[in-house]
Amino acid sequence: MKKILATLTVSGIALAAGGMAQAQEVHLIMCGGEIREADQTVITQFEADNPGVTVNAEPVPWGTCQDKSKTLAAAGDAPGLAYMGSRELALLAENDLILPVTLSDEAIAAYQPGVLATVSNGGQYWGIPHAFSTKALYMNCDVIEAAGETCAAPETWDDLYNLAAAVSAASGSEGVAGYGLAAKDFDNTMHQFLNYLYSNGGQVINAETGEGMLDSAETRETLAFFGKLATVSQEGPTAWERDSLKDLFNDGKIAMYVNGPWGRGQHNEEINQMIVPVPRGPNGDNGTILITDSIAVFSGTGVEELSMKLAQALTSGEAQYDLDSSWGLTPILQYEKLGFEDPYYIGDDFWEIFTAGISRGGPEPMVTDVKGLQAVFVNMIQGIVLEDDTVDNLVTIAGEELADIM
CB 143 within 8 A of CB 164: no
pLDDT in tens, 273-318: 999 999 999 999 999 999 999 999 999 999 999 999 999 999 999 9
Phi-psi map region of 114: left, alpha, beta (phi>0 left; psi -120 to 50 alpha): left
DSSP summary character for residue 129? E
pLDDT tens-digit series, residues 221-277: 999 999 999 999 999 999 999 999 999 999 999 999 999 999 999 999 999 999 999
Number of continuous H segments (helices) and E segments (strands) in the chain: 15, 13
Per-residue pLDDT band at 172 (split at 50, 70, 90)? confident
Q: Identity (one letter) of the amino acid at 324?
A: D
Q: For the residues of 237-252, what is the DSSP string, one character each?
A: GGG--HHHHHHHHHTT
For range 11-35, the mean pLDDT: 69
**pTM score:** 0.91
DSSP 357-375: TGGG-EEPP--S-HHHHHH
Length of the chain, please? Answer: 406
Give pairs for 231-236: CB < 8 Å, separation 24+.
231/165, 232/161, 232/164, 232/165, 232/167, 232/168, 232/177, 232/178, 232/179, 233/164, 233/177, 233/178, 233/179, 233/180, 233/181, 234/177, 234/179, 234/180, 234/181, 235/177
CATH of the domain spanning 8-133+291-360: 3.40.190.10
pLDDT band at 208 (very low <50, low <70, confident <90, very high): confident
Q: pLDDT per residue over 66-114, tens digit each?
A: 999 999 999 999 999 999 999 999 999 999 999 999 899 999 999 999 9
Q: Give the strands of the sheet with 273-276, arranged side by side.
A: 256-259, 136-140, 273-276
The pLDDT tens digits of the residues spanning 352-391 come to 999 999 999 999 999 999 999 999 999 999 999 999 999 9
The answer to whether residue 4 scores a pLDDT higher than 50 is no
CA distance 300 to 99: 9
- Check whether 22 has a pLDDT greater than 70: no
pLDDT in tens, 28-38: 999 999 999 99
At 139, give phi and psi (nearest 5°): -120, 130
Top-tier CATH class for 136-287+369-405: alpha beta
Name the phi and psi angles at 362, rounded to 5. -140, 160
Ranges for all domains in the chain classified under CATH 3.40.190.10: 8-133+291-360, 136-287+369-405
